[in-house]
């Protein structure tokens, strides 16, 4: 055992954050601390590290063991280059190597007994350097930095020029190289893209020490941990297994507690009815019996009713208007910044009812794609068209259209006057605004809180095509699950960018991966993407190498061939789209023909005139479509 907490309690003023917490972490164990936002998870970590003192109880850490802690917000104030800053964490090895080089110079200039002493000293230093894997330090630093998402071209950037999230990644890299016996990681994946998060998972799975992590990344927890400690209303509950195991076990425990409570309530009501019946007899004998039962009932230890599961709250999103089958059509889309091409001649088609996740490394242009669809970012080339009766709702964390002078409650009620107070409160509660929070001014909210409020408003709108940029940021696990359930049952169309693999796995029916400037399409969720990724990457790499192998006139011919292939694919898509339209028109004409012979319409002259007019209009449209079809085939 490397860590044990015994009856830990911590309060701030009258607010008890931690109550009688007790659990332990074993050597090499992988454990997670979970709980809603504000539950006290970071406070508990700070109690473990000694940054805070408990009001009562004891934190016991094994002797001769080391501990490393990564907080959510790390400020590194140094002008050192990224690579040098991470290397400096093993200054002991750098100093040892420097000492060895200096000693080698002395050896070269010595002889006799002095030489023997120097050689023996050098041998001891060499042995220690080998044991610490000193010769592999530079390559290890390179591997960690690349794994965490830094490119070699960024290694010489000064740390002082980095964003807060990038500095946190540097701090994480330093911590991993120290290799403490216990790693405490508070939201380590917050500033990592999908590839970097996957790398960190693999690294921690093979880590030689124990890992204790706070994270809202459920996919990460599923792949890493074997124990979950749930901090709920100040109390720690321990569950074995990964995150999926934990949710199933927690639900089973809640259901068992509810059954026990309801059983006891039935028995209490039965006893109360018997007591009332005895009293109605109005005799001394039954009066004594009633009193006796009352005393017994008063001594019964009451089972506390379990709190309602927040995840039982349902959000139902139903568009008022059904869009056409073709929701979004993108052809030949090209975009670049500062001489760097993000993507070129990209074609994307999205159909009604699809839930499409856009994934890829940071900086590849995922959010830029969404902004171009919305018209807030200019295209370098190509065209973007939305289909018939498509109404878009857009969530962008950087640009929220909220009224800072309104309360949260009024922000919803003013836009949706038909909603009652309970519905508004439930909607806000689903996005973590409870109690008196609903009367806060929008202008007083943090950026993350405003993002949650914007998302709540979009979920209530009548749109039938949702475009969302990182919708699960700043949501706790319960709110993520509520949102997931709402989107899975959503009858409209969804396009979103997300790094949340669990969310993608639960909601996506198709994945678009932005890989080396190309959009690769996977007809499935994230698990399917993982299964097919290597195969798709190999095909894309081969295609890119073939393209790069052509130069001059050869390249021009190659690009011409590619353009012809793209034109052919477009023609095939246009033909299929036209055939679908023709079939739809013919179905509508058939329906009118059936309506014209119905007995109830035979005597309704206005109805017959209206049906005939519609049929003539559709017949004319059908002739136009067939003329176009003949040109395409």
User: What pLDDT digit, counting tens, does each position of 386-412 carry?
Assistant: 999 999 988 876 645 788 899 999 999
Whether 556 and 566 have beta carbons less than 8 Å apart is answered as no
Sorted by where each begins, the domain ranges of the chain are 1-76+168-241, 78-161, 260-309, 325-391+463-549, 404-461, 558-632
- What tokens does 499 get? 């790094």
Q: What are phi and psi of 583, to 5 degrees?
A: -60, -40
The Cα 596–Cα 612 span in angstroms is 8
Per-residue pLDDT tens for 59-86? Answer: 999 999 999 999 877 777 888 999 999 9
Phi-psi region of 420 (alpha: psi -120 to 50; beta: other; left: phi over 0): beta
3-class DSSP state of 138:
helix
The Cα 117–Cα 115 span in angstroms is 5
DSSP-assigned letter for residue 399: -
Whether 457 and 442 have beta carbons less than 8 Å apart is answered as no
Res 509: pLDDT: 94
3-class DSSP state of 332:
strand
Return the CATH number of the domain spanning residue range 1-76+168-241.
Answer: 3.40.50.300
pTM over 0.85: no
The Cα 384–Cα 392 span in angstroms is 14
Q: How far does CA 325 lie from the centroid of its chain?
A: 29
E-strand stretches of 251-292: none
3-class DSSP state of 106:
helix
Task: Kindly give the interhelix angle for 447-460 and 477-488, rounded to the nearest 10 degrees.
Answer: 20
- With a cut of 70, which residues of the chain have pLDDT below it? 308-317, 397-400, 447-448, 548, 550-567, 570
CA angle 369, 375, 378 (to 5 degrees): 70
The Cα 149–Cα 194 span in angstroms is 10
Contacts of 247 (CB under 8 A, 6+ apart): none
Res 311: pLDDT: 46
Q: Which CATH number fits domain 325-391+463-549: 3.60.150.10, 3.40.50.2000, 3.50.50.60, 3.40.50.300?
A: 3.40.50.300
For 297, 341, 541, 548, 549, the CA distances from 552, given in Å and listed in that order, are: 94, 20, 21, 11, 10
For 149, 183, 626, the CA distances from 69, given in Å and listed in that order, are: 20, 6, 69
Contacts of 355 (CB under 8 A, 6+ apart): 487, 488, 490, 493, 494, 507, 508, 509, 510
Q: Of 577, 328, 315, whose CA–CA distance to 465 is shortest? A: 328
Other CB atoms within a 10 A radius of the CB of residue 582 amount to 16
Whether 468 and 497 have beta carbons less than 8 Å apart is answered as yes
Res 447: pLDDT: 67
Q: Which long-range contacts (CB under 8 A, 24 or more apart) does 412-420 make?
A: 412/456, 412/457, 412/460, 415/457, 415/460, 416/460, 419/460
- What tokens does 373 get? 């669809």
The Cα 384–Cα 188 span in angstroms is 37
DSSP 409-473: HHHHHHH-TTS-HHHHHHHHHHTT--GGGGGSBGGGS-HHHHHHHHHHHHHHS--SEEEEESTTT
CA torsion through residues 507, 513, 519, 525, sign: negative
The Cα 110–Cα 117 span in angstroms is 10
Other CB atoms within a 10 A radius of the CB of residue 74 amount to 18
- Whether 1-76+168-241 shares its CATH topology with 325-391+463-549 is answered yes
3-class DSSP state of 116:
helix
Residue with tokens 């009688």: 20
């Amino acid at each position: 055992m490397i860590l044990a907490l015994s009856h830990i309690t911590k309060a701030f003023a009258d607010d008890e954050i931690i109550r009688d917490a007790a659990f332990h972490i074993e050597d090499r164990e992988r454990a997670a601390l979970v709980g809603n936002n504000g539950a006290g998870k970071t406070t508990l970590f700070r109690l473990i590290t000694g940054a805070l003192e408990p009001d009562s109880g004891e934190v016991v850490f094994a002797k001769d063991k080391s501990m490393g802690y990564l907080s959510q917000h790390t400020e590194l104030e140094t002008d050192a280059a990224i690579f040098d800053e991470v290397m400096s964490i093993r200054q002991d090895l750098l100093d040892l190597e420097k000492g060895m080089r200096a000693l080698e110079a002395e050896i070269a200039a010595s002889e006799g007994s002095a030489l023997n002493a120097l050689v023996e000293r050098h041998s001891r230093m060499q042995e220690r350097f080998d044991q610490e894997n000193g010769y592999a330090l530079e390559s290890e630093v390179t591997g960690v930095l690349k794994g965490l998402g830094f490119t070699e071209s960024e290694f010489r950037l000064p740390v002082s020029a980095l964003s807060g999230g990038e500095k946190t990644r540097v701090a994480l890299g330093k911590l991993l190289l120290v290799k403490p016996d216990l790693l405490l990681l508070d939201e380590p994946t917050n500033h990592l893209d999908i590839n970097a998060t996957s790398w960190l998972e693999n690294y921690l799975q093979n880590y030689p020490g124990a890992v204790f992590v706070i994270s809202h990344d459920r996919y990460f927890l599923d792949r890493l941990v074997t124990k979950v400690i749930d901090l709920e209303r100040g109390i720690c509950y321990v569950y074995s297994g990964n995150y999926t195991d934990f949710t199933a076990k927690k639900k089973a425990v809640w259901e068992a507690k509810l059954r026990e409570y309801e059983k006891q309530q039935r028995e209490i009501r039965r006893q109360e009815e018997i007591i009332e019946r005895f009293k109605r007899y109005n005799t001394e004998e039954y009066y004594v019996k009633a009193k006796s039962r009352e005393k017994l009932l008063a001594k019964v230890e009451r089972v506390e009713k379990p709190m309602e599961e927040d995840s039982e709250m349902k959000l139902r999103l139903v568009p008022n208007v059904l869009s056409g089958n073709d929701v979004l059509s993108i052809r030949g889309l090209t975009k670049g910044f500062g001489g760097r091409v993000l993507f070129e001649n990209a074609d994307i088609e999205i159909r009604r009812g699809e839930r499409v996740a856009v994934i890829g490394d940071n900086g590849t242009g995922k959010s830029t794609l969404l902004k171009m669809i919305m018209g807030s970012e200019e295209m370098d080339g190509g065209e973007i068209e939305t289909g018939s009766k498509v109404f878009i709702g857009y969530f962008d964390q950087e640009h929220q259209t909220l009224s800072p002078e309104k309360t949260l409650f009024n922000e919803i009620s003013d836009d949706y006057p038909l909603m009652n107070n309970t519905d508004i409160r439930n909607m806000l509660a689903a996005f973590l605004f409870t109690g008196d929070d609903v009367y806060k001014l929008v202008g007083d909210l943090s950026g993350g809180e405003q993002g949650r409020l914007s998302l709540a408003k979009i979920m209530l709108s009548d749109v039938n095509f949702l475009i969302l940029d990182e919708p699960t940021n700043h949501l706790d696990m319960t709110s993520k699950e509520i949102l997931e359930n709402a989107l899975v049952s959503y009858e409209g169309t969804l396009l979103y960018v997300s790094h949340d693999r669990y969310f993608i796995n639960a909601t996506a029916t198709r994945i678009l991966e932005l890989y080396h400037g190309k959009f690769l399409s996977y007809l499935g969720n994230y698990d399917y993407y993982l299964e097919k990724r290597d195969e798709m990457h190999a095909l894309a790499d081969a295609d890119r190498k073939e393209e790069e192998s052509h130069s001059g006139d050869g390249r021009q011919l190659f690009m011409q061939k590619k353009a012809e292939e793209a034109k052919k694919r477009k023609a095939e898509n246009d033909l299929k789209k036209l055939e679908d339209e023709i079939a739809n028109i013919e179905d509508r004409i058939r329906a009118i023909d059936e309506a014209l012979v119905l007995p109830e319409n035979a005597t309704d002259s206005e109805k017959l005139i209206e049906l005939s007019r519609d049929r003539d209009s559709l017949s004319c449209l059908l002739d136009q479509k067939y003329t176009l079809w003949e040109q395409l085939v």
